Amino acid sequence: MKNFTIIIMLLVGGAHLSLQVLKLLPTNPLTNYYNGFVAKYDLGFIPQKWLLFAPEPPKFSHRFHYRCGINQKEWSYWNDPVEENLQTHHRNRLSPAQYKVRFFKDSIRVLNNAHSNIGKGLNCPKTKNQECYKESIKKLIDTKPYEAMAFIVTDLCKEKYGEGINLIQFRSLTIHPVSYSKRNDPNAKTNVNSRLYPVTKTMSL
């Protein structure tokens, strides 16, 4: 009975491990053969993905600025919600600010990705095109990421300027650092791409 138990355990453990290995293997000529049953087995309990622990370091990072307005007449300066939290995170690695930095940066990243995907769907050219931009924004404002971002900025505005705010606007900044080969070049500068999102009414639940 004891031997039988051990054999069963080895079979179960071995099957689990084999499926983990197949899941973690990079795409190969046999992937199509096993992908179906591996995906069915991957119930989400073991959320390790092939790229989870080994990303190529990002060659750019995201931030956003927001401003708050009253009836299109009065607008605040552009505020950076990340900077203050980032400084706290640098001073104290155990501070709650680290998650706020992640939350804000990831939120704008998701929104930018959603916008880019809409642009791709519309076959927008890579160069700036006003018509395409308007069309993609029109589609974007109905999406979940835009709604969520508008909620986040509404909260930030109300926290900073009070309940009287009724308009918000935000812009994303994609920051490309100086490449490694130019790191000691005094003339090399960080490249920043900005994406302006439209003026939106404050959100309420």
Partner 1 sequence: MIKKYFEKDNTFTTNLFMTLVYAIALIEIIIRLPNAKLFYGSLHKVTEIGDLNGVNYIFDIFHLIPNAYIVVLSLYIASLLINLTNLKNIFSKTSAWYLCGVLNFYNPSIADGGSAVILIFMFYAIFLNDSKNYYLKALNNMFLLLIQLQVCFIYLSAGLTKLNGQLWTRGVATYYALQVDQFSHPILQQYFAKNAFFVTLSSLGTLAFQLSFPYLIWNKKTRPYVAALGSLIHLQISFGMGLVTFGLIMSVSYFSFYNEEEIKKVLNRFKLSQVSVFFDHECINCMRFARLMRILIPKKSLIIKDANKKDPSFLETLHLTDGQRVYQGFSAICQMVYRAPILKIASPVFYLIEKSGLGAYFYDQYILKSNWRNNCREGVCTLNYIK
CB nearer to partner 1: pick between 102 and 120:
102
What's the min distance (Å) between Cβ of 73 and partner 1? Answer: 28
- Dist. CA 191–CA 203, nearest whole Å: 33
In the block, which residue shows the tokens 């080994």? 54
Q: How far is the CB of 167 from partner 1 (least distance, A)?
A: 19
Which is closer to partner 1, CB of 149 or CB of 167?
149
Shortest reach from residue 110's CB to partner 1, in Å: 4
Handedness of CA 10, 15, 20, 21 (dihedral sign): positive
Q: Residue 199 Cβ, how far from partner 1 at the closest point, in Å?
A: 20
Dihedrals phi, psi of 54, to nearest 5 degrees: -135, 45
Q: With respect to partner 1, which residue has the nearer C-beta, 22 or 167?
A: 22
**Bridge partner list, 67:** 169
Question: Which residue lies nearer to partner 1 by CB, 74 or 191?
Answer: 191
Q: What are phi and psi of 62, to 5 degrees?
A: -115, 150
- Pick from 101, 70, 73, 72: which is nearest to 164 by CA? 70
For residue 52, give the amino acid letter.
L
| Beta bridge partner(s), residue 63 | 173
User: Shortest approach of partner 1 to residue 129 CB, angstroms?
Assistant: 25
| Choice between 26 and 125, CB closer to partner 1 | 26
Q: Can you read off the two tokens belonging to residue 54?
A: 């080994």
Residues in the chain: 205
The residues that touch partner 1, with contacts defined as CB under 8 A, are 2-3, 5-6, 9-10, 12-13, 16-17, 20-21, 24, 26, 39-40, 42-48, 50-54, 56-59, 61, 86, 89-90, 93-96, 98-103, 105-107, 110-111, 144-145, 147-149, 151-152, 155, 177-178, 180, 183-184, 203, 205
